[in-house]
Amino acid sequence: MTSLQIVAQFVATLCCALFSGAAVYINFVEHPARMECGTELAATVFPVSYRKATVMQALLAALGLIASIVAWFAGSSIGWLIGGLLLGSVIPFTLIVIMPTNKKLLASGLDKNSEFTRLLLSHWGKLHAVRSVLSILALIIFLVIA
């Protein structure tokens, strides 16, 4: 195994582990806690949390995808490509599937205490869980299969 493969595999695995850890934390801790505080407060803190998490998670997903492709091109197994594509799939999933809900939650005219907002926040949590599952599957591939 070349040093390029080792470094690329390490970077891909690290990025994937950090991404999946953050995603799982959001689904099991942050979002439920925010929802327990009531719809108005949840809708108030959502934009702040969203801004901070977006940058970190987008960078981790993109870097993990790139590193896994580099590992595969450098001679690592197809598992590195598959895991990287799973991790990278959170990017288009977010842009295509989750973004419409994000835009509604971030809209300036949103009634933060409405049933509609509560349903949006609940729906967002379910959509975000897909990101958690995809990244965990990628991590399993990196750690076990690849």
Q: Note the pLDDT tens digit of each residue in 122-145.
A: 999 999 999 999 999 999 999 998
At 1 the pLDDT is: 87
- The answer to whether 84 and 72 have CB atoms below 8 angstroms apart is yes
Summarised one tens digit per residue, pLDDT across range 11-29 is 999 999 999 999 999 999 9
Residue 109 is encoded by which pair of tokens?
């005219």
At 95 the pLDDT is: 96
pTM over 0.85: yes
Range of the domain at 20: 3-145
Distance CA 29, CA 23 (A): 10
Please count the structural domains in the chain: 1
Distance CA 114, CA 75 (A): 54
Summarised one tens digit per residue, pLDDT across range 52-97 is 999 999 999 999 999 999 999 999 999 999 999 999 999 999 999 9
What is the pLDDT confidence band of residue 36, given thresholds at 50, 70 and 90? Answer: very high
At 86 the pLDDT is: 98
